[in-house]
Amino acid sequence: MKFLKSAMLLTALFLLSQVPASAQTVDAPAVIAQTYPFADLRAFAAGLVIIGAAMGIGGLTKSAVESMARQPEMAGNIQTAMIISAALIEGVTFFALIIIGFILKS
């Protein structure tokens, strides 16, 4: 149910982002703004990357805390592995955002 509400909100925000910001007309033809064909899809993809990373780190943390509760003597090792894994997930997320933001500007 929560996922459905989030998906509906994301769809509504995506559709509302298509509304023009102003109704100004361009007088000179040389002042036409350059538009990128997949700019909206890039923003959508960036949102999906961030949501996926948040879900991954959240699941990782949940599992690590449960493991620490079951075996308190292993808490140090579990915490170290959790921090390393979270850092790797963040690194992949930043890499994906850079690719979406800069390289795919065709």
**Which range of residues forms the domain containing residue 103?**
57-106
CA distance 59 to 49: 15
Q: Does the residue 18 lie in any domain?
A: no
Q: Is residue 8 part of a domain?
A: no
Decide: 84 and 36 in contact? Cβ < 8 Å: no
Phi, psi of 104 (to 5 degrees): -90, 35
Residue 21 is classified by DSSP as S
* Residue 41 scores a pLDDT above 90: no
DSSP secondary structure code for residue 101 in this structure: I
Q: Are residues 57 and 86 in contact, defined by beta-carbon separation less than 8 angstroms?
A: yes
| Number of compact structural domains in the chain | 1
* Token duo for residue 8: 């509906």
Tell whether 44 is covered by a domain: no
Question: Would you say the pTM of this structure is higher than 0.75?
Answer: no
Q: pLDDT of 46-83, one tens digit each?
A: 888 999 999 999 999 999 999 999 999 999 999 999 99
19 inside domain: no
